[in-house]
Amino acid sequence: MADENGFDDLIVPVEQIRHCCAPGTLDFETTKDLEPLEGLIGQDRAMDAIGLAAGMRHHDFNLFVLGPSGTGRHDAVRGFLQDHSRGRSAPNDWAYVNNFDAPHRPVALRLPPGRAQALRREMEDLVDDLAIDIPALFESDEYQTTRRTLEQEYGSRQESAMADFADKAKAEGIALMRTPMGFMLTAIRDGKVLKAEEFNKLPEDEQKAIQDKIDSLQEELTEVLQAAPKIERERRRKVDELNSEMTGQVVSARVDEVLHAFDDLPDVQEYLRAVRKDMTANAELFLTSEQQGEDGAPFVHDNVGKAHRDPRLFRYSVNVMVSHGAESKAGAPLETETLPTLDRVTGRIEHVSHMGALMTNFTMIKPGALHRANGGYLVLDARRILSEPMAWPALKQCLQSRSITITSMAERVGMMSTTSLEPDPIPLDLRVVLIGDRLLYSLLVNYDPDFLELFKLEADFEETIDRSPESQALYARLIGTRARRDGLRPIAADGVARLIDESLRLADDSTKLSLHLGKMGDLLREADHYAGEDGRDTVGADDVAHAVSQRERRASRVKDRMREAVARRTLLIETEGGAVGQVNGLSVVGFGGFRFGQPSRITARTRMGAGKLIDIEREVELGGPLHSKGVLILGGYLSATYALDVPFSLHASLVFEQTYGGVDGDSASAAELFALLSALSELPVGQNFAVTGSVDQTGKVQAIGGVNEKIEGFFETCQERGLTGDQGVIIPRSNVEHLMLRAEVAEAVEAGNFRIFAIETIDEGIAILTGRKAGRRGADGAYEAESVNALVEAQLVEFAHQRQNFAQTLKAQEKGEA
């Protein structure tokens, strides 16, 4: 056994492998006794950045919140900004109104908070009132009398001209007759119309005289008839002037009332003057709307007095894009868009189908998140907006121009060929907060040249906090606060202690508490469920432990199948005896959010060669770059440590046996080096050990991740086959403070059935694995006799000599052939 060979100082004591929180150190019985804790703990740096973004008034100081999910980023951002927004004044209202000169370019109106809705109501009332007043005006006796006088005047002028012409023609013996084809001139004799046969019997000179009279009178008749349209046009113009004069009085009186209500807003007054002019010129719209509703149907009872609902009068509507009550205490708006498509971010212009064509107008402009958040804060999920077509470029364009321009997807990709609206851009003044992970932030920094110009601030959320009595007390208060917020039972002190233990495991560090509050909250809610099933009023340690075990059981199907494969020796893993060039390595397998350790058989084969170290995983493209880097480091270590006075003449191959997926990371490089040293020295390696750790070119063993899962993976394999007392795991010494192993592992270590060795160098590790000293170089430059290093160096020197002899033999053979 290794400890019998003088390795006691390398064994990790049981008290260092599981740093539990003692319930007695928590000064409460249940979390009901604790004061609530608002906000987060351990995120001072990130919260300072959020505070700067909220208070900074200069543009482009938008914020990217980065960090892993489950750290409370969304809640922290919303909570902080919500508190900060209350202290700010409500922003302006914005509305779109008709541009009577260019209807395809609606006008954007800025109004003080609450005034946009007031303007909309005033315009609706104005239209409703005029839809009653104007028809009543045209039905009044005064208007009807004036209109009849005007009609009679122009009617008599037309009739008088025709009568005078008829009298003149009659005096000359010509009659004016009205036929279905129009007016006709014909001769009369003795008061009767001269028929064609009678006309033909007249002498030629008399016929000629009559025809000359008819031709002369025909020209005069043409002039009289041509004067009729002129008289009609003049009549219509006079009628229009009368209508304008009469309606102008009604419209002006009513619009002046609205003007007085908005006499402090020049832009609104300019719009209202344009409304007055257009209403006066289009009074017939009110006559039509008084009689008909939408699609020509009569107004139903509900629409009585609601003329503004008539589509023909939508031209006088006010499309309120965003409005804030003047009396509201909410302050600046805070918006979160969970589906940040192009339309939902920048707004959209809707269309309706009418007789096979798509129609739109300014009342169909709909606001987006930028409109609603204007003057305040907009929170977006970075990954979602980047995944939506055109949404990210549109957001950047709006931030760069500091205005909101509404364009459809079809317009942006050049697919829109029909004329659409071009609404006035609305000035933009807001703070955008993107929430994403660190990888996404790095990609944006590296590949989007506009990103850092627009998002000058980053709030980087911590994943862990230093463990101390103070931080544990804060953590307990945070757990209690979340339990109250979610309506859960109070948590007993031992339950909180058990949650803190799980937090240490989640942090992969016994000196840190995890700030992945989402995962801890899920665990707490599940424990509360089990406590409720058992009829308890509080959540205790047993409930938390049950939740942990059930969570692992639900996710462990793949783990169980792999354990079964090892137990049935489908996957060959040895836990006893020794083997040359074979080491049990340790890896972590991730499946969803569940991770577990899995031992892997690593083998090495060596022979004389030209200094080539083959990574079989890399050769077949199953090895990732980090794994390949680790293998190259092994070559550097071997060539710089052994047989320095001869050429490096090794040909070696390394492989993870029975792995059929990708391998990456350098955490197996120490195990691979041990396999190489065993193959070179021909010393068997104890298969009762498993190894994890990376190595540098000087032989120092470095820390790796997932140390707890890796140890537990080999422990469970040994446990299934029966613990013998000489089994164990070799880890880097720098990983000791990360240990937070399950209780059953700690119990086995305490009983002497399992051991954990912590090493700093390759020499320490190979000595444990082979049971032989690694050996140091003496003053003569040689390693201690029969040590591992001496055997390795001797083999490499032998390879060099074999290579030299082979080269000489080959050269001699070539000369003999010559």
Q: What is the pLDDT of residues 596-610, one digit of tens each?
A: 888 989 898 988 888
Contact 98, 108 (CB under 8 A): no
pLDDT band at 625 (very low <50, low <70, confident <90, very high): confident
Contact 116, 92 (CB under 8 A): no
Task: Give 181 or 42, the one with higher predicted confidence.
Answer: 42
Least confident of 86-90, 292-296, 580-584: 292-296
pLDDT of residue 1: 37
Could you write out the three-class secondary structure of 126-145? HHHHHHHHHHHHHCCHHHHH
pTM equals 0.79
pLDDT of residue 393: 93
Q: Is 792 helix (H, G, I), strand (E, B) or coil?
A: helix
| Residue 87: Cβ within 10 Å count | 10
pLDDT band at 648 (very low <50, low <70, confident <90, very high): confident
Average pLDDT, integer, range 475-479: 90
pLDDT band at 87 (very low <50, low <70, confident <90, very high): confident
For strand 63-66 and strand 457-460, is the pairing parallel, antiparallel, or unpaired? parallel
pLDDT of residue 391: 93
pLDDT of residue 295: 42
- Measure the CA–CA gap between 542 and 498, rounded to whole angstroms: 9
Given a cut of 90, whether residue 403 has pLDDT beyond it is: yes
pLDDT of residue 291: 47
Average pLDDT, integer, range 454-479: 90
Spell 325-364 as b/e; 16+ CB within 10 A means b. Answer: eeeeeebbbbbbbeebbbbbbbbbbebeeeeeeeebbbbb
Task: Give 659 or 124, the one with higher predicted confidence.
Answer: 124
**Which residues are known to be catalytic?**
667, 710
Least confident of 115-129, 232-246, 400-414: 232-246
pLDDT band at 444 (very low <50, low <70, confident <90, very high): very high
pLDDT of residue 754: 93
Radius of gyration of the chain (CA): 47
pLDDT of residue 293: 42
Given a cut of 50, whether residue 352 has pLDDT beyond it is: yes
C-alpha distance from residue 459 to each of 43, 370, 434, 791 (Å): 9, 22, 10, 55
Given a cut of 70, whether residue 417 has pLDDT beyond it is: no
Q: Residue 66's beta-bridge partner residues?
A: 436, 460
Task: Give 153 or 428, the one with higher predicted confidence.
Answer: 428
Q: What confidence tens digit (pLDDT) does each residue in 496-525 have? A: 999 999 999 888 888 889 888 888 889 999
Write phi, then psi, for 360 (nearest 5 degrees). -150, 165
Tell me which CATH code domain 1-23+464-555 carries: 1.10.8.60
Which stretch, 275-279, 302-306, 808-812, has highest mean pLDDT?
275-279
- Measure the CA–CA gap between 113 and 374, rounded to whole angstroms: 12
pLDDT band at 414 (very low <50, low <70, confident <90, very high): low
Average pLDDT, integer, range 758-773: 91
* H or E stretch covering 674: helix 669-681
Average pLDDT, integer, range 195-208: 72
For the stretch 658-661, contacts whose Cβ atoms lie closer than 8 Å and that sit 24 or more positions apart, written own/partner, are 658/571, 658/572, 658/600, 658/601, 659/600, 659/617, 659/622, 661/622
Q: Please, where are the H alpha helices in 556-668?
A: 557-567, 616-619, 625-641
Q: E strands of 578-626, at which residues?
A: 578-580, 582-591, 594-608, 612-615
Structure tokens at 769: 């694995």
Q: Half-sphere exposure (CA, 13 Å, Cβ side) for 226?
A: 6
pLDDT band at 191 (very low <50, low <70, confident <90, very high): low
Structure tokens at 756: 């954990």
pLDDT of residue 5: 58
pLDDT band at 59 (very low <50, low <70, confident <90, very high): confident
Contact 60, 378 (CB under 8 A): no
Cα-based torsion angle of the residue sequence 465, 466, 470, 472 in order, rounded to the nearest 10 degrees = 60
pLDDT of residue 70: 79
* H or E stretch covering 656: strand 650-656
Average pLDDT, integer, range 28-43: 86
pLDDT of residue 246: 77
- Measure the CA–CA gap between 137 and 498, rounded to whole angstroms: 84
Residue by residue, DSSP assigns 553-573 as HHH-HHHHHHHHHHHTTSS--
Contact 526, 502 (CB under 8 A): no
Residue spans per domain, the chain: 1-23+464-555, 43-91+328-461, 93-323, 573-777+788-801
Tell me which of 3.30.230.10, 3.50.30.50, 3.40.50.960, 3.40.50.1000 is the CATH number of domain 573-777+788-801: 3.30.230.10
Place of tokens 């109106």: 109
Contact 343, 331 (CB under 8 A): no
Write phi, then psi, for 237 (nearest 5 degrees). -65, -40
CA angle 262, 265, 271 (to 5 degrees): 80
Closest CA relative to residue 451, chosen from 518, 396, 514: 396
pLDDT of residue 65: 94
Given a cut of 90, whether residue 666 has pLDDT beyond it is: no
Contact 683, 578 (CB under 8 A): no
- Measure the CA–CA gap between 342 and 331, rounded to whole angstroms: 27
Q: Is 3 helix (H, G, I), strand (E, B) or coil?
A: helix
Q: Please, where are the H alpha helices in 727-818?
A: 743-750, 762-770, 788-817
Least confident of 350-364, 519-533, 666-680: 350-364
Closest CA relative to residue 127, chosen from 382, 308, 335: 308
Average pLDDT, integer, range 524-538: 92
What percent of the chain is modeled with pLDDT above 90?
Answer: 35
Contact 322, 94 (CB under 8 A): yes
| Residue 80: Cβ within 10 Å count | 21
Amino acid letter, 534: D
Given a cut of 80, whether residue 236 has pLDDT beyond it is: no
Task: Give 182 or 37, the one with higher predicted confidence.
Answer: 37
Write phi, then psi, for 300 (nearest 5 degrees). -80, 170
- Measure the CA–CA gap between 524 and 532, rounded to whole angstroms: 12
* H or E stretch covering 170: helix 141-171
> Across all residues in the chain, what is the average pLDDT?
84
Interacting residues of 96 by C-beta distance below 8 A, sequence separation 6+: 106, 107, 108, 109, 318, 319, 321, 362, 365, 423, 424
Q: What confidence tens digit (pLDDT) does each residue in 548-568 have? A: 999 989 888 888 888 888 888
Superfamily for the 43-91+328-461 domain = P-loop containing nucleotide triphosphate hydrolases (3.40.50.300)
pLDDT of residue 413: 66
Least confident of 319-328, 678-687, 695-704, 734-743: 319-328
Closest CA relative to residue 727, chosen from 737, 738, 717, 740: 717
